[in-house]
Structure 1
């Protein structure tokens, strides 16, 4: 009888929420990351990155922008719409989230002038 591989024991690596000043668009930035260490390297197993601002978007619980891998696929939330995304790495996904969020904030600031 062969042994089944044991599932990796995940732990929460990061859980942070930042309340943004209204001069920066307002709302919340939320980062939730779970993973494990394998061969001395941290492996991200699950993630949920979100920019929440109900003044900008009332759909999807106020999530203006988000990236996560729930429901067994990597996807992007934007203003109430969900679309699959090509996954390269968690680090690249985080970079894309930060770039997209900054673009949204730039647009918000331009609209207020």
Structure 2
């Protein structure tokens, strides 16, 4: 089955709002089901390793996992929407950390 990239978005965050960028990539199969994904908050001012990825979720390397300041841990997969919700909670919590 052929897959196609459905979303490829990069949102730059202004310095006054925390700096960095949000990245979202989603691939789907012919039925529209998500086959691959990558969502990340990138900020080289906060974290320089892992290409600046502070928080991210993806399913590269054959499993669903979360990146958090360079640490990688497997995550349970229910749906892509659930992954996006987990990412949003992480991103929001980090944003509000002094």
TM-score band, normalised by the shorter chain? over 0.9
Aligned residues: 98
SS in 1 for 2:45: coil
Q: Name the counterpart of 1:28.
A: 21
TM-score by length of 2: 0.95
Q: Please list every run of 5 or more consecutive structure 1 residues that lacks an aligned counterpart in the other structure.
A: 1-7
The RMSD of aligned alpha carbons is: 0.9
Q: Name the counterpart of 2:62.
A: 72
1:62-99 CA-to-partner distances (Å, cap 9, x unmatched) read: 10000000000000000011000011100000111111
Shift of 1:37: 3.5
> Larger Cα Rg: Structure 1 or Structure 2?
1
SS in 1 for 2:95: helix
Runs of 4+ with >2 A deviation? none
Matches within 5 A, 1:1-113: 8-38=1-31, 42-107=32-97, 111=98
Q: Please list every run of 5 or more consecutive structure 2 residues that lacks an aligned counterpart in the other structure.
A: none
